[in-house]
Structure 1
Amino acid sequence: MIDLSQQEPFAAGYNRFCYIHPEDPRRCLKILNPENIERRFARQRWYKKMLGKSRINDNLQEQIAYDQPAVIHGGEKVWSHLPRFYGQAPTTRGPANSSELITNSNGAPGITLESYLKRHGVNGCIRTAIDDFCRWLRETGILTRNLLPHNLVVVTREDHLKLYLVDGLGAPGIPARLAALPAYRQRYIERKIRRFWKRVEWEANGRQGAWEAAEKI
């Protein structure tokens, strides 16, 4: 049992809290916010509630996402932009997903792409990093949900910026048989990349107007 009673999360999203592993600072522990799970489930339509709470359990969905063939059979290249995953670990705050903590060369945790864009906009350095990340998606065939800037972390490695996908891995709505088809998978990835660039520009421009309108341009 990992004792987190004396720790505060170093990052928090709507659905999960992130802690640094007290016995291994190279690892991140992601723990569900149970109150948000209940609120999300309560908002579901009746027919979706019949599917149970597992579909909105981000830790479980992440475990499933890491089991996709492109991750399992992708070799070392997979970890160029994705944290290594170490499975589930028991903690005093509940079960956690244990994964690699993404840090800068100096050991400090990276910031989200969302935070970076607010501070610097789409400069040449981050554009190169995004291009590199998108090239990796195409080459590995890894499936993701919509690519959102708050789900990617920016770090400095060897004097250049690099992106890591720390949340939003997997495509639970895509049947396995379709995901296995190379042509379908590549079309799916290209759609995600095009949408991602629109989101990046929208965030960098101060979120002017509604996102629903911006993504249709």
Structure 2
Amino acid sequence: MDLITPLQLSSLEPVGQGAQKLVFRHPDDPRVLVKVVNPRFIERRDRKDRFYQKRRRIGHHRAFAREMIEHLASRALTPGRLAPCPHIQNILGVVDTDLGAALLVEAVLDEDGNLAPTLRDLVESGRHGHRSRQALETFLDWALTSNVLINDLSADNLAWHPDGHFVMIDGLGDRAGIPIRAVSPWLNRLYKRKKIRQLREEIGMEKGPGRSRKAVAVAIAIILALLGLIATQLELLLE
């Protein structure tokens, strides 16, 4: 696989797309996917906010940065060791393409070499059985206890690996302007509990519980997280 020559993607059909990204199979290696920023997202963002790229140092690539940060965060507890996380799609690098900078990621494939089904595919086709249900609980336990930040835990973002576990292929990171959850594990878990509850509702595993919140506790957690963030920044400035 050539990692130097820019990839030509504009003539290819994407295998997946969202509001912010287009996903292509790598033209030289079907085991690899190429994620680029959706040109329509760039057009909408520039039309909505003409100074967006001036204020955002990495411009339209914020989604890539969020994904890469969580990729590294998942390995932060095991520095210097081979410890890939089986529940996060592996990032292989950054390359240039005729559609702009792109992320190379390891594709989650089925036994036949096709893109693996998502959790939504399993549910809608009636294939979400005992094995995948147990695997989903394992994934949700990991999601809740890990230090990884999640912003979109939907059934479309979980791919079923043929080895019998789920892999999150999108929706990582914190979209908030101030990354409060990054400095507050408690608030991060609280947010992920909400996302897990929504996922269960989405696939019909349970009815939605009451939406009463402990507003005071949440407010206190946010304040403490902000104070922690400020303290961290001051520590960096004083080094």
Give me the TM-score of the superposition, normalised by structure 2.
Answer: 0.69
Q: CA deviation at 1:133?
A: 0.9
Report the number of matched residues. 199
Post-superposition Cα deviations, 1:55-87, rounded to whole Å, max 9, x if no partner, equal: 994x43232332146324044665211111133
1:31 maps to which residue? Answer: 36
Tell me, yes or no, if structure 1 residue 102 matches structure 2 residue 112. Answer: no
**Please, what is the CA RMSD of the aligned residues?**
3.2
What residue number does 1:62 align with? 64
Query: 8 Å contact 1:104–1:110 — kept in the other structure?
Result: yes
**Which residue in the other structure is 1:156 paired with?**
162
User: Are the aligned partners of 1:85 and 1:98 in contact in 2 as well (CA < 8 Å)?
Assistant: yes
Larger Rg: 2
Q: How far is 1:144 from its partner?
A: 0.4
CA 187–5 in structure 1, closer or farther in 2 if over 3 Å, else same: closer
Shift of residue 95, structure 1, vs aligned partner: 2.1
Percent identical: 23
Change in CA separation of 1:118 and 1:175 when aligned onto 2, cut-off 3 Å: same
Match of 1:198, as an amino acid?
E
> 1:167 maps to what in 2?
170
What's the secondary structure of 2:192's corresponding residue?
Answer: helix
Paired with 1:24 and 1:200, the residues of 2 have a C-alpha distance of 33
Q: Which runs of 5+ in 1 are unaligned?
A: 206-212
Task: Work out the CA distance in 2 between the residues paired with 1:181 and 1:135.
Answer: 18
Q: Deviations over 1:153-208 (max 9, x none)?
A: 12321xx3x21111110112174454223322222222221222112218xx9xxx
Name the structure, 1 or 2, with higher relative contact order (CA <8 Å, separation 6+): 1
Q: Structure 2 regions of 5+ residues with no counterpart?
A: 1-5, 212-239
Closer, same or farther: CA 145–216 of 1 in aligned 2, 3 Å: farther
- Comparing 192-201 with 67-76, greater Cα deviation is found at 67-76
